[in-house]
Amino acid sequence: MVGSGWDTFSKKTHSTIRRTETTIMSSEEIANAFIQHFYTTLDSGAPQNLHSLYQAGSTLTFEGTAVTGADAIVAKYQVCRRPLKFYIGK
């Protein structure tokens, strides 16, 4: 039944089903979600998973030392002398 009305209906139905409802978040909700993601990832012992959050011009200053670039920032997190633990709460 190639080219039948069923194919057209099926394609339209699948495309409708794949659509998701758009949720608008407030700036506070976005900030809280980012903070939760960032510190949970950093605390997990896998700071390399934060690489996508940084750009070539991003700079981190930590304990008086500044590093620039995603690779350098992630490397800095990986060589911290002590475990980093964070509590996120209000």
Span 27-48, pLDDT tens digits: 999 999 999 998 888 888 788 8
Band (pLDDT 50/70/90 cuts) for residue 8 is very low
Q: Residue 33: what are its φ and ψ, rounded to 5°?
A: -65, -40
Domains and CATH numbers, the chain: 26-78 (3.10.450.50)
pLDDT digits 0-9 by tens, 13-24: 444 455 566 778
Which residues sit opposite 61 in a β-bridge? 66
CA 43 – CA 38 distance, rounded (Å): 9
